Chain A
Amino acid sequence: MRKKKRTVSKILRFFFLSLYLVAAVVPLYWIFLTSIKSPKEVYAYPIVYWPKHVSFESYKFLFGFANFAQYFKNSLFVSITASFLAMSFSVLSGYIMARYTFRFKKLLIITLFLAQMIPAYLLMIPQYTMFSKLGLINNLWALVIIYVNVAASFSTIMARGFFSRIPRSLEEAAMIDGTSRIGAIFRITIPLSLPGIAAIFSFSFVNTWNELFTAVLFINSNSKMTVPVALNSFISKAGIQWNVMSAGLIVALLPTIVVFAFAQRYIVAGLTQGAVKE
Protein backbone atom coordinates (compact mmCIF):
# COMPACT_ATOMS: atom_id res chain seq x y z
CA MET A 1 0.00 0.00 0.00
CA ARG A 2 2.71 2.41 1.00
CA LYS A 3 4.85 1.42 -1.97
CA LYS A 4 1.95 2.05 -4.34
CA LYS A 5 1.41 5.47 -2.87
CA ARG A 6 5.05 6.29 -3.40
CA THR A 7 4.93 5.26 -7.07
CA VAL A 8 1.89 7.44 -7.64
CA SER A 9 3.58 10.45 -6.10
CA LYS A 10 6.70 9.74 -8.15
CA ILE A 11 4.70 9.70 -11.38
CA LEU A 12 2.89 12.89 -10.40
CA ARG A 13 6.17 14.58 -9.62
CA PHE A 14 7.64 13.49 -12.93
CA PHE A 15 4.54 14.78 -14.73
CA PHE A 16 4.65 18.25 -13.16
CA LEU A 17 8.40 18.59 -13.54
CA SER A 18 8.12 17.71 -17.23
CA LEU A 19 5.24 20.13 -17.68
CA TYR A 20 7.32 22.93 -16.25
CA LEU A 21 10.28 21.96 -18.39
CA VAL A 22 8.13 22.26 -21.51
CA ALA A 23 6.80 25.66 -20.40
CA ALA A 24 10.32 26.91 -19.78
CA VAL A 25 11.96 25.62 -22.94
CA VAL A 26 9.36 25.77 -25.70
CA PRO A 27 9.15 29.60 -25.98
CA LEU A 28 12.87 29.94 -26.60
CA TYR A 29 12.90 26.96 -28.95
CA TRP A 30 10.05 28.50 -30.94
CA ILE A 31 12.00 31.73 -31.39
CA PHE A 32 15.01 29.76 -32.56
CA LEU A 33 12.78 27.93 -35.03
CA THR A 34 11.34 31.21 -36.31
CA SER A 35 14.83 32.58 -36.79
CA ILE A 36 15.83 29.75 -39.14
CA LYS A 37 12.60 29.77 -41.16
CA SER A 38 12.37 31.49 -44.52
CA PRO A 39 10.05 34.53 -44.47
CA LYS A 40 7.49 32.50 -46.41
CA GLU A 41 7.32 29.81 -43.75
CA VAL A 42 7.21 32.34 -40.90
CA TYR A 43 3.95 33.75 -42.21
CA ALA A 44 2.50 30.50 -43.52
CA TYR A 45 -0.87 29.23 -42.38
CA PRO A 46 -1.37 26.58 -41.01
CA ILE A 47 1.69 27.23 -38.90
CA VAL A 48 4.84 25.39 -39.94
CA TYR A 49 6.12 23.29 -37.05
CA TRP A 50 9.01 21.67 -38.88
CA PRO A 51 10.70 23.92 -41.44
CA LYS A 52 11.34 22.08 -44.70
CA HIS A 53 14.74 23.62 -45.13
CA VAL A 54 16.86 25.65 -42.79
CA SER A 55 17.35 29.24 -43.87
CA PHE A 56 19.97 31.57 -42.48
CA GLU A 57 18.54 34.53 -44.38
CA SER A 58 17.52 36.36 -41.22
CA TYR A 59 20.97 36.07 -39.70
CA LYS A 60 22.53 37.27 -42.94
CA PHE A 61 20.25 40.29 -42.92
CA LEU A 62 21.03 40.95 -39.29
CA PHE A 63 24.79 40.98 -39.67
CA GLY A 64 24.85 42.37 -43.20
CA PHE A 65 22.23 45.05 -43.41
CA ALA A 66 21.45 45.72 -39.77
CA ASN A 67 25.05 46.00 -38.57
CA PHE A 68 24.40 43.71 -35.64
CA ALA A 69 28.07 42.78 -35.25
CA GLN A 70 28.79 46.39 -34.28
CA TYR A 71 25.97 46.44 -31.68
CA PHE A 72 27.20 43.14 -30.32
CA LYS A 73 30.73 44.54 -29.97
CA ASN A 74 29.41 47.67 -28.26
CA SER A 75 27.42 45.60 -25.79
CA LEU A 76 30.37 43.31 -25.08
CA PHE A 77 32.63 46.29 -24.45
CA VAL A 78 30.16 47.99 -22.11
CA SER A 79 29.21 44.83 -20.21
CA ILE A 80 32.68 43.38 -19.74
CA THR A 81 34.28 46.70 -18.76
CA ALA A 82 31.50 47.64 -16.36
CA SER A 83 31.33 44.18 -14.75
CA PHE A 84 35.09 44.03 -14.35
CA LEU A 85 35.24 47.46 -12.69
CA ALA A 86 32.24 46.75 -10.47
CA MET A 87 33.79 43.44 -9.45
CA SER A 88 37.09 45.09 -8.53
CA PHE A 89 35.42 47.88 -6.57
CA SER A 90 33.15 45.56 -4.68
CA VAL A 91 35.92 43.13 -3.77
CA LEU A 92 37.80 46.04 -2.14
CA SER A 93 34.85 47.48 -0.27
CA GLY A 94 33.23 44.12 0.50
CA TYR A 95 36.45 42.92 2.10
CA ILE A 96 36.65 45.99 4.33
CA MET A 97 33.00 45.69 5.27
CA ALA A 98 33.51 42.05 6.28
CA ARG A 99 36.75 42.41 8.22
CA TYR A 100 36.88 45.79 9.94
CA THR A 101 34.76 47.80 12.30
CA PHE A 102 34.95 51.56 11.97
CA ARG A 103 32.84 54.63 12.47
CA PHE A 104 29.92 55.12 10.06
CA LYS A 105 30.09 51.49 8.94
CA LYS A 106 26.41 50.94 9.61
CA LEU A 107 25.50 54.13 7.79
CA LEU A 108 27.51 53.06 4.74
CA ILE A 109 25.80 49.68 4.67
CA ILE A 110 22.41 51.35 4.85
CA THR A 111 23.31 53.63 1.93
CA LEU A 112 24.04 50.53 -0.13
CA PHE A 113 20.69 48.95 0.71
CA LEU A 114 18.76 52.14 0.05
CA ALA A 115 20.53 52.43 -3.30
CA GLN A 116 18.86 49.14 -4.26
CA MET A 117 15.46 50.68 -3.71
CA ILE A 118 15.95 53.72 -5.89
CA PRO A 119 14.76 52.77 -9.36
CA ALA A 120 17.32 53.27 -12.13
CA TYR A 121 14.83 55.17 -14.25
CA LEU A 122 14.42 57.85 -11.57
CA LEU A 123 18.15 58.43 -11.77
CA MET A 124 18.44 58.43 -15.52
CA ILE A 125 17.19 61.96 -16.13
CA PRO A 126 19.53 63.72 -13.66
CA GLN A 127 22.30 61.45 -14.93
CA TYR A 128 21.44 62.50 -18.46
CA THR A 129 21.80 66.18 -17.50
CA MET A 130 25.11 65.49 -15.76
CA PHE A 131 26.56 63.57 -18.66
CA SER A 132 25.35 66.00 -21.29
CA LYS A 133 27.14 68.80 -19.44
CA LEU A 134 30.28 66.67 -19.62
CA GLY A 135 29.67 66.00 -23.32
CA LEU A 136 29.30 62.28 -22.72
CA ILE A 137 26.02 61.67 -24.51
CA ASN A 138 26.38 59.08 -27.25
CA ASN A 139 29.45 57.76 -25.52
CA LEU A 140 29.71 54.13 -24.46
CA TRP A 141 31.84 55.11 -21.47
CA ALA A 142 28.84 56.94 -20.02
CA LEU A 143 26.96 53.63 -20.00
CA VAL A 144 29.97 51.88 -18.45
CA ILE A 145 30.09 54.38 -15.57
CA ILE A 146 26.36 54.17 -14.92
CA TYR A 147 26.35 50.37 -14.98
CA VAL A 148 29.33 50.22 -12.60
CA ASN A 149 27.31 52.30 -10.16
CA VAL A 150 24.32 49.96 -10.30
CA ALA A 151 26.42 46.80 -10.07
CA ALA A 152 28.95 47.93 -7.45
CA SER A 153 26.47 48.67 -4.69
CA PHE A 154 24.73 45.30 -4.98
CA SER A 155 28.00 43.43 -5.46
CA THR A 156 29.51 44.96 -2.32
CA ILE A 157 26.65 43.47 -0.31
CA MET A 158 27.29 40.09 -1.92
CA ALA A 159 31.06 40.33 -1.47
CA ARG A 160 30.69 41.22 2.19
CA GLY A 161 28.55 38.10 2.57
CA PHE A 162 31.10 35.64 1.26
CA PHE A 163 34.19 37.32 2.70
CA SER A 164 32.72 37.17 6.19
CA ARG A 165 32.29 33.42 5.75
CA ILE A 166 36.05 32.89 5.29
CA PRO A 167 37.68 32.55 8.71
CA ARG A 168 39.98 35.39 9.66
CA SER A 169 42.32 32.86 11.26
CA LEU A 170 43.41 31.60 7.82
CA GLU A 171 44.76 35.04 6.95
CA GLU A 172 46.38 35.40 10.35
CA ALA A 173 48.11 32.06 9.97
CA ALA A 174 49.54 33.16 6.62
CA MET A 175 50.73 36.41 8.16
CA ILE A 176 52.50 34.56 10.96
CA ASP A 177 54.24 32.58 8.22
CA GLY A 178 55.65 35.87 6.99
CA THR A 179 53.22 37.14 4.33
CA SER A 180 52.08 40.74 4.36
CA ARG A 181 48.40 41.59 4.83
CA ILE A 182 47.93 42.25 1.13
CA GLY A 183 49.78 39.04 0.37
CA ALA A 184 47.48 37.11 2.67
CA ILE A 185 44.43 38.60 0.97
CA PHE A 186 45.69 37.68 -2.47
CA ARG A 187 47.03 34.22 -1.56
CA ILE A 188 44.33 33.03 0.82
CA THR A 189 41.15 35.04 0.84
CA ILE A 190 40.65 35.79 -2.84
CA PRO A 191 41.35 32.24 -4.08
CA LEU A 192 38.91 30.89 -1.50
CA SER A 193 36.21 33.31 -2.58
CA LEU A 194 36.66 32.86 -6.33
CA PRO A 195 33.21 31.26 -6.76
CA GLY A 196 31.62 34.30 -5.16
CA ILE A 197 33.69 36.66 -7.27
CA ALA A 198 32.68 34.73 -10.39
CA ALA A 199 29.07 35.08 -9.28
CA ILE A 200 29.48 38.83 -8.92
CA PHE A 201 31.00 39.15 -12.35
CA SER A 202 28.39 37.07 -14.12
CA PHE A 203 25.53 38.66 -12.25
CA SER A 204 26.73 42.14 -13.24
CA PHE A 205 27.34 40.96 -16.78
CA VAL A 206 23.81 39.63 -17.16
CA ASN A 207 22.22 42.79 -15.75
CA THR A 208 24.42 45.09 -17.79
CA TRP A 209 23.97 43.19 -21.01
CA ASN A 210 20.20 43.43 -20.61
CA GLU A 211 19.91 47.09 -19.66
CA LEU A 212 17.66 49.03 -22.01
CA PHE A 213 16.19 52.26 -20.67
CA THR A 214 19.29 54.28 -19.84
CA ALA A 215 20.93 53.11 -23.04
CA VAL A 216 17.98 54.25 -25.16
CA LEU A 217 18.11 57.70 -23.60
CA PHE A 218 21.89 58.06 -23.80
CA ILE A 219 22.62 56.56 -27.20
CA ASN A 220 21.17 57.99 -30.37
CA SER A 221 23.69 57.31 -33.10
CA ASN A 222 23.43 54.06 -34.98
CA SER A 223 27.09 53.05 -34.58
CA LYS A 224 26.96 53.35 -30.77
CA MET A 225 23.82 51.28 -30.19
CA THR A 226 23.93 48.38 -27.77
CA VAL A 227 22.01 45.19 -28.56
CA PRO A 228 18.87 46.06 -26.54
CA VAL A 229 18.75 49.54 -28.10
CA ALA A 230 19.00 47.96 -31.55
CA LEU A 231 16.16 45.54 -30.77
CA ASN A 232 14.10 48.45 -29.52
CA SER A 233 14.70 50.30 -32.77
CA PHE A 234 13.49 47.22 -34.67
CA ILE A 235 10.10 47.52 -32.96
CA SER A 236 9.56 51.15 -33.71
CA LYS A 237 9.98 50.60 -37.42
CA ALA A 238 6.57 49.93 -38.93
CA GLY A 239 5.85 46.22 -38.83
CA ILE A 240 8.28 43.77 -37.31
CA GLN A 241 9.93 41.22 -39.56
CA TRP A 242 9.61 38.33 -37.21
CA ASN A 243 12.30 36.09 -38.60
CA VAL A 244 14.87 38.90 -38.37
CA MET A 245 13.63 39.94 -34.94
CA SER A 246 13.86 36.32 -33.76
CA ALA A 247 17.42 36.05 -35.02
CA GLY A 248 18.18 39.28 -33.16
CA LEU A 249 16.63 37.88 -29.99
CA ILE A 250 18.65 34.68 -30.23
CA VAL A 251 21.87 36.67 -30.68
CA ALA A 252 20.87 38.96 -27.81
CA LEU A 253 20.11 36.07 -25.46
CA LEU A 254 23.13 33.95 -26.37
CA PRO A 255 25.81 35.61 -24.19
CA THR A 256 23.66 35.55 -21.08
CA ILE A 257 22.77 31.90 -21.69
CA VAL A 258 26.48 31.07 -22.02
CA VAL A 259 27.37 33.03 -18.88
CA PHE A 260 24.47 31.51 -16.98
CA ALA A 261 25.46 28.00 -18.04
CA PHE A 262 29.01 28.50 -16.79
CA ALA A 263 28.23 30.39 -13.62
CA GLN A 264 24.78 29.13 -12.72
CA ARG A 265 25.88 27.37 -9.58
CA TYR A 266 27.86 30.39 -8.38
CA ILE A 267 25.13 32.89 -9.18
CA VAL A 268 22.58 30.87 -7.29
CA ALA A 269 24.86 30.31 -4.31
CA GLY A 270 26.02 33.92 -4.29
CA LEU A 271 22.49 35.23 -4.46
CA THR A 272 21.09 33.06 -1.75
CA GLN A 273 24.04 33.71 0.53
CA GLY A 274 24.26 37.41 -0.14
CA ALA A 275 20.58 38.13 0.29
CA VAL A 276 19.39 35.79 2.97
CA LYS A 277 20.86 34.51 6.18
CA GLU A 278 21.38 30.78 6.23
Chain B
Amino acid sequence: MKRFIFWMLLPTFSIVAVLTYYPTIKGVFLAFEDYTVFNFQNIQFVGWQNFENIFMDPNFFIALWNTVWWIAFSVALQFVLGFALALLMKEPFKGRGIYAGIVFYPWALSGFALGILWSWLLNGQFGLINDILIKLHLIQHGINFLSNPFYAFISVIAVNVWYGVPFFAIMILAALQSIPNSLYEAAEIDGAGAISKFFNVTLPYIKPTVVSTLLLRVIWVMNFPDIIYGMTRGGPAGATNILATYMINIVYYETDYSKASAVGLIIVSVLMIYALIYLKFTSTYELGEI
Protein backbone atom coordinates (compact mmCIF):
# COMPACT_ATOMS: atom_id res chain seq x y z
CA MET B 1 0.00 0.00 0.00
CA LYS B 2 2.73 2.43 0.99
CA ARG B 3 4.52 1.65 -2.24
CA PHE B 4 1.39 2.26 -4.28
CA ILE B 5 0.89 5.65 -2.66
CA PHE B 6 4.53 6.57 -3.19
CA TRP B 7 4.59 5.75 -6.89
CA MET B 8 1.30 7.48 -7.58
CA LEU B 9 2.50 10.68 -5.92
CA LEU B 10 6.01 10.59 -7.31
CA PRO B 11 5.53 12.30 -10.72
CA THR B 12 3.72 15.36 -9.38
CA PHE B 13 5.81 15.90 -6.29
CA SER B 14 9.17 15.23 -7.87
CA ILE B 15 8.51 17.81 -10.57
CA VAL B 16 7.21 20.34 -8.04
CA ALA B 17 10.27 19.75 -5.84
CA VAL B 18 12.76 20.08 -8.68
CA LEU B 19 11.09 22.90 -10.60
CA THR B 20 9.37 24.97 -7.92
CA TYR B 21 11.06 24.46 -4.58
CA TYR B 22 14.65 23.97 -5.64
CA PRO B 23 14.55 27.10 -7.88
CA THR B 24 12.90 29.04 -5.09
CA ILE B 25 15.80 28.29 -2.76
CA LYS B 26 18.26 29.02 -5.56
CA GLY B 27 16.45 32.27 -6.21
CA VAL B 28 16.91 33.34 -2.60
CA PHE B 29 20.66 32.71 -2.83
CA LEU B 30 20.80 34.42 -6.21
CA ALA B 31 19.39 37.59 -4.69
CA PHE B 32 22.56 37.86 -2.58
CA GLU B 33 24.98 37.18 -5.43
CA ASP B 34 26.15 39.03 -8.51
CA TYR B 35 24.85 36.88 -11.35
CA THR B 36 24.52 38.76 -14.64
CA VAL B 37 24.60 37.57 -18.22
CA PHE B 38 28.20 38.73 -18.54
CA ASN B 39 29.25 37.01 -15.36
CA PHE B 40 28.57 33.28 -15.47
CA GLN B 41 31.89 32.05 -14.16
CA ASN B 42 32.84 34.00 -11.10
CA ILE B 43 29.67 34.43 -9.08
CA GLN B 44 30.22 35.79 -5.60
CA PHE B 45 28.25 36.47 -2.50
CA VAL B 46 27.61 40.20 -2.32
CA GLY B 47 25.33 40.44 0.72
CA TRP B 48 22.67 43.14 0.59
CA GLN B 49 24.27 44.88 -2.40
CA ASN B 50 21.40 44.07 -4.80
CA PHE B 51 18.82 45.30 -2.34
CA GLU B 52 20.78 48.49 -1.76
CA ASN B 53 20.86 49.08 -5.53
CA ILE B 54 17.12 48.54 -5.73
CA PHE B 55 16.37 50.89 -2.84
CA MET B 56 18.54 53.56 -4.51
CA ASP B 57 16.40 53.33 -7.65
CA PRO B 58 13.51 55.83 -7.66
CA ASN B 59 11.77 53.68 -10.27
CA PHE B 60 11.48 50.91 -7.73
CA PHE B 61 9.43 53.11 -5.41
CA ILE B 62 7.25 54.27 -8.28
CA ALA B 63 6.63 50.61 -9.13
CA LEU B 64 5.93 49.78 -5.50
CA TRP B 65 3.44 52.61 -5.18
CA ASN B 66 1.86 51.72 -8.52
CA THR B 67 1.48 48.12 -7.35
CA VAL B 68 -0.61 49.27 -4.41
CA TRP B 69 -2.97 51.30 -6.60
CA TRP B 70 -2.97 48.67 -9.31
CA ILE B 71 -4.15 46.02 -6.84
CA ALA B 72 -6.57 48.27 -4.95
CA PHE B 73 -8.41 49.64 -8.00
CA SER B 74 -8.27 46.47 -10.08
CA VAL B 75 -9.53 44.13 -7.41
CA ALA B 76 -12.14 46.52 -6.00
CA LEU B 77 -13.66 47.27 -9.40
CA GLN B 78 -13.45 43.68 -10.60
CA PHE B 79 -15.21 42.63 -7.44
CA VAL B 80 -18.00 45.22 -7.54
CA LEU B 81 -18.68 44.79 -11.25
CA GLY B 82 -18.35 41.01 -11.09
CA PHE B 83 -20.76 40.90 -8.17
CA ALA B 84 -23.23 43.10 -10.04
CA LEU B 85 -22.99 40.92 -13.13
CA ALA B 86 -23.52 37.77 -11.08
CA LEU B 87 -26.62 39.27 -9.43
CA LEU B 88 -28.00 40.25 -12.84
CA MET B 89 -27.40 36.72 -14.12
CA LYS B 90 -28.76 34.93 -11.08
CA GLU B 91 -32.39 34.66 -12.23
CA PRO B 92 -32.67 32.42 -15.29
CA PHE B 93 -33.44 34.08 -18.61
CA LYS B 94 -33.63 32.88 -22.17
CA GLY B 95 -30.17 32.14 -23.55
CA ARG B 96 -28.38 32.57 -20.23
CA GLY B 97 -25.98 29.72 -21.00
CA ILE B 98 -24.91 31.27 -24.29
CA TYR B 99 -24.72 34.71 -22.69
CA ALA B 100 -22.44 33.35 -19.96
CA GLY B 101 -20.23 31.66 -22.56
CA ILE B 102 -19.77 34.93 -24.43
CA VAL B 103 -19.28 37.39 -21.56
CA PHE B 104 -16.98 35.05 -19.65
CA TYR B 105 -14.61 34.35 -22.55
CA PRO B 106 -12.12 37.23 -22.01
CA TRP B 107 -11.00 35.46 -18.90
CA ALA B 108 -9.75 32.46 -20.90
CA LEU B 109 -7.70 34.59 -23.27
CA SER B 110 -4.08 35.62 -23.07
CA GLY B 111 -3.58 38.70 -20.92
CA PHE B 112 -0.60 39.63 -23.03
CA ALA B 113 -2.54 39.37 -26.31
CA LEU B 114 -5.41 41.33 -24.79
CA GLY B 115 -2.93 43.98 -23.74
CA ILE B 116 -1.74 44.39 -27.32
CA LEU B 117 -5.33 44.33 -28.56
CA TRP B 118 -6.30 47.13 -26.21
CA SER B 119 -3.30 49.22 -27.14
CA TRP B 120 -4.77 49.28 -30.65
CA LEU B 121 -8.24 50.16 -29.37
CA LEU B 122 -6.69 53.00 -27.36
CA ASN B 123 -4.52 54.24 -30.21
CA GLY B 124 -4.47 58.04 -30.31
CA GLN B 125 -5.22 58.38 -34.01
CA PHE B 126 -6.99 55.30 -35.25
CA GLY B 127 -8.30 53.82 -32.02
CA LEU B 128 -11.93 52.83 -31.65
CA ILE B 129 -12.24 54.26 -28.13
CA ASN B 130 -11.15 57.74 -29.20
CA ASP B 131 -13.50 57.66 -32.15
CA ILE B 132 -16.43 56.73 -29.93
CA LEU B 133 -15.56 59.44 -27.40
CA ILE B 134 -15.34 62.04 -30.17
CA LYS B 135 -18.65 60.91 -31.69
CA LEU B 136 -20.27 61.22 -28.26
CA HIS B 137 -18.81 64.76 -28.06
CA LEU B 138 -17.03 63.88 -24.85
CA ILE B 139 -13.66 64.93 -26.27
CA GLN B 140 -12.64 66.99 -29.29
CA HIS B 141 -9.32 65.45 -30.28
CA GLY B 142 -8.01 61.96 -29.88
CA ILE B 143 -6.14 61.29 -26.64
CA ASN B 144 -2.82 59.47 -26.74
CA PHE B 145 -3.89 57.26 -23.87
CA LEU B 146 -0.73 55.22 -23.63
CA SER B 147 1.86 57.96 -23.99
CA ASN B 148 0.52 60.12 -21.20
CA PRO B 149 1.62 58.69 -17.81
CA PHE B 150 -1.65 59.40 -16.03
CA TYR B 151 -3.96 58.15 -18.78
CA ALA B 152 -1.71 55.15 -19.34
CA PHE B 153 -2.02 54.08 -15.72
CA ILE B 154 -5.81 54.53 -15.77
CA SER B 155 -5.92 52.56 -19.03
CA VAL B 156 -4.00 49.52 -17.81
CA ILE B 157 -6.22 49.34 -14.74
CA ALA B 158 -9.38 49.68 -16.84
CA VAL B 159 -8.27 46.85 -19.10
CA ASN B 160 -7.36 44.69 -16.14
CA VAL B 161 -10.83 45.29 -14.71
CA TRP B 162 -12.41 44.37 -18.04
CA TYR B 163 -10.32 41.21 -18.03
CA GLY B 164 -11.02 40.22 -14.41
CA VAL B 165 -14.76 40.84 -14.07
CA PRO B 166 -15.72 37.41 -15.49
CA PHE B 167 -13.63 35.58 -12.89
CA PHE B 168 -15.45 37.21 -9.99
CA ALA B 169 -18.77 36.84 -11.76
CA ILE B 170 -18.20 33.09 -12.25
CA MET B 171 -17.22 32.50 -8.64
CA ILE B 172 -19.99 34.61 -7.14
CA LEU B 173 -22.62 33.29 -9.52
CA ALA B 174 -21.73 29.74 -8.53
CA ALA B 175 -22.05 30.69 -4.87
CA LEU B 176 -25.35 32.52 -5.45
CA GLN B 177 -26.82 29.51 -7.18
CA SER B 178 -25.94 27.26 -4.30
CA ILE B 179 -28.07 29.25 -1.81
CA PRO B 180 -31.02 27.04 -0.89
CA ASN B 181 -34.32 28.65 -1.83
CA SER B 182 -35.78 27.67 1.53
CA LEU B 183 -33.61 30.33 3.17
CA TYR B 184 -35.30 33.04 1.10
CA GLU B 185 -38.72 31.58 1.76
CA ALA B 186 -38.08 31.56 5.49
CA ALA B 187 -36.90 35.17 5.33
CA GLU B 188 -40.04 36.12 3.41
CA ILE B 189 -42.23 34.54 6.06
CA ASP B 190 -40.41 36.68 8.60
CA GLY B 191 -41.38 39.67 6.49
CA ALA B 192 -37.99 40.48 4.94
CA GLY B 193 -37.93 42.73 1.87
CA ALA B 194 -35.50 42.50 -1.04
CA ILE B 195 -32.83 44.60 0.68
CA SER B 196 -33.09 42.78 3.96
CA LYS B 197 -32.92 39.42 2.15
CA PHE B 198 -29.76 40.56 0.39
CA PHE B 199 -28.00 41.57 3.61
CA ASN B 200 -29.30 38.80 5.86
CA VAL B 201 -29.34 35.80 3.53
CA THR B 202 -27.31 36.40 0.37
CA LEU B 203 -24.27 38.16 1.79
CA PRO B 204 -23.63 35.88 4.78
CA TYR B 205 -24.09 32.81 2.61
CA ILE B 206 -21.57 33.79 -0.07
CA LYS B 207 -19.09 35.34 2.36
CA PRO B 208 -16.69 32.36 2.34
CA THR B 209 -16.51 32.50 -1.45
CA VAL B 210 -15.89 36.23 -1.40
CA VAL B 211 -13.20 35.92 1.26
CA SER B 212 -11.24 33.21 -0.54
CA THR B 213 -11.70 34.74 -3.99
CA LEU B 214 -10.39 38.09 -2.77
CA LEU B 215 -7.36 36.42 -1.19
CA LEU B 216 -6.45 34.58 -4.38
CA ARG B 217 -7.24 37.52 -6.59
CA VAL B 218 -4.92 39.97 -4.82
CA ILE B 219 -2.08 37.47 -5.15
CA TRP B 220 -2.83 36.84 -8.81
CA VAL B 221 -3.23 40.50 -9.69
CA MET B 222 0.05 41.35 -8.00
CA ASN B 223 1.77 38.60 -9.99
CA PHE B 224 0.10 39.48 -13.26
CA PRO B 225 2.33 41.57 -15.51
CA ASP B 226 0.85 40.25 -18.79
CA ILE B 227 -1.65 42.99 -19.59
CA ILE B 228 0.71 45.82 -18.69
CA TYR B 229 3.50 44.20 -20.64
CA GLY B 230 1.29 43.88 -23.71
CA MET B 231 0.00 47.46 -23.48
CA THR B 232 2.91 49.62 -22.36
CA ARG B 233 5.80 47.42 -21.17
CA GLY B 234 5.76 49.53 -18.02
CA GLY B 235 6.18 52.84 -19.86
CA PRO B 236 5.96 55.71 -20.54
CA ALA B 237 9.05 56.23 -18.37
CA GLY B 238 8.03 53.64 -15.80
CA ALA B 239 4.61 55.20 -15.22
CA THR B 240 2.77 51.88 -15.54
CA ASN B 241 5.42 49.68 -13.96
CA ILE B 242 4.27 47.46 -11.15
CA LEU B 243 6.82 45.36 -9.25
CA ALA B 244 6.24 42.41 -11.58
CA THR B 245 6.94 44.36 -14.79
CA TYR B 246 9.79 46.19 -13.09
CA MET B 247 11.40 42.84 -12.39
CA ILE B 248 10.77 41.45 -15.85
CA ASN B 249 12.28 44.51 -17.47
CA ILE B 250 15.40 43.95 -15.36
CA VAL B 251 15.58 40.37 -16.65
CA TYR B 252 15.09 41.24 -20.31
CA TYR B 253 16.83 44.59 -20.67
CA GLU B 254 19.41 44.80 -17.89
CA THR B 255 19.94 41.00 -17.76
CA ASP B 256 21.00 41.45 -14.13
CA TYR B 257 19.57 38.19 -12.84
CA SER B 258 20.59 38.75 -9.24
CA LYS B 259 18.97 42.15 -9.02
CA ALA B 260 15.82 40.68 -10.58
CA SER B 261 15.83 37.85 -8.05
CA ALA B 262 16.11 40.39 -5.25
CA VAL B 263 12.99 42.14 -6.58
CA GLY B 264 11.27 38.77 -6.78
CA LEU B 265 12.17 38.08 -3.19
CA ILE B 266 10.69 41.42 -2.14
CA ILE B 267 7.47 40.55 -4.02
CA VAL B 268 7.18 37.17 -2.33
CA SER B 269 7.85 38.68 1.09
CA VAL B 270 5.13 41.27 0.57
CA LEU B 271 2.71 38.54 -0.50
CA MET B 272 3.53 36.38 2.52
CA ILE B 273 2.95 39.28 4.91
CA TYR B 274 -0.30 40.12 3.13
CA ALA B 275 -1.53 36.51 3.28
CA LEU B 276 -0.73 36.23 6.99
CA ILE B 277 -2.51 39.47 7.87
CA TYR B 278 -5.46 38.60 5.67
CA LEU B 279 -5.84 35.15 7.21
CA LYS B 280 -5.58 36.61 10.71
CA PHE B 281 -8.34 39.12 10.10
CA THR B 282 -10.72 36.88 8.19
CA SER B 283 -10.25 33.77 10.35
CA THR B 284 -9.20 30.76 8.38
CA TYR B 285 -12.34 28.68 8.71
CA GLU B 286 -14.23 31.05 6.46
CA LEU B 287 -11.87 30.22 3.62
CA GLY B 288 -13.47 26.84 3.18
CA GLU B 289 -11.23 24.10 1.92
CA ILE B 290 -9.18 26.00 -0.57
Interface residues of A (CB under 8 A from B): 13, 16-17, 20-21, 23-28, 30-31, 34, 42-43, 45-47, 88-90, 92-93, 95-96, 100, 102, 108, 111-113, 115-130, 145-146, 148-149, 152-153, 156, 206, 209-210, 212-213, 216-217, 228, 231-232, 235, 242, 245-246, 249, 252-253, 256-257, 259-261, 264, 267-269, 271-272, 275-278
Contacts and interface: CB of A to CB of B under 8 A. Distances in A.
B187 interface: no
Nearest to B263: A122
22 contacts: A21-B103, A42-B126, A47-B128, A92-B8, A93-B13, A108-B9, A117-B272, A119-B264, A121-B225, A123-B27, A125-B261, A126-B27, A149-B19, A153-B16, A213-B225, A216-B252, A242-B123, A253-B109, A271-B171, A276-B290, A277-B208, A277-B288
A175 B287 CA distance: 36
Contact of A275 (B15, B117, B212): B212
B59 interface: no
B116 A231 contact: yes
B247 interface: yes
B284 interface: no
A232 B112 contact: yes
B24 interface: yes
A123 B248 CA distance: 12
Given A93-B12, A122-B27, A257 B105 contact: yes
Given A13-B88, A21-B102, A122-B268, A259 B108 contact: yes
A212 to B, nearest CB: 5
B165 to A, nearest CB: 8
Interface string B173-185: 0110010000000
B121 A228 contact: no
Interface residues of B, number: 86
A19 to B, nearest CB: 10
Contacts of A115: 16, 20-21
B131 A235 contact: no
A64 B16 CA distance: 40
A228 B112 contact: yes
B154 interface: no
A184 to B, nearest CB: 14
A17 B112 CA distance: 27
A43 B252 CA distance: 32
B11 A93 contact: yes
B106 A24 contact: yes
A20 to B, nearest CB: 6
A234 B209 CA distance: 40
A209 to B, nearest CB: 7
Residue among A26, A256, A277 having the largest count of chain B Cβ atoms under 10 Å = A277
9 tightest A-B CB contacts, nearest first: A277-B288, A122-B264, A126-B23, A210-B110, A126-B26, A149-B19, A272-B174, A260-B108, A93-B12
Given A121-B244, A268-B174, A253 B15 contact: no
B46 to A, nearest CB: 16
Given A96-B5, A232-B112, A278 B23 contact: no
B192 interface: no
Nearest to A10: B93
Contact of B117 (A24, A31, A122, A276): A31
Contact of B108 (A16, A43, A206, A212): A206
Interface of B: 1-2, 5, 8-9, 11-13, 15-16, 18-24, 26-27, 30, 35, 84-85, 88-89, 99-106, 108-114, 116-118, 120-121, 123, 125-126, 128, 131, 162, 166, 170-171, 174-175, 178, 208-209, 212-213, 216, 219, 223, 225-226, 229, 233, 244, 247-248, 251-252, 257, 260-261, 264-265, 267-268, 271-272, 275, 288-290
A154 to B, nearest CB: 10
Contacts of B21: 111, 115
Contacts of B109: 210, 253, 256-257
A245 B116 contact: yes
A123 B19 contact: yes
Contacts of B223: 119-121
Contacts of A242: 120, 123, 126
A129 B225 contact: no
Contact of B251 (A43, A217, A253, A269): A217
A246 B120 contact: yes
A214 to B, nearest CB: 10
A74 to B, nearest CB: 15
A113 B289 CA distance: 11
A276 B208 contact: yes
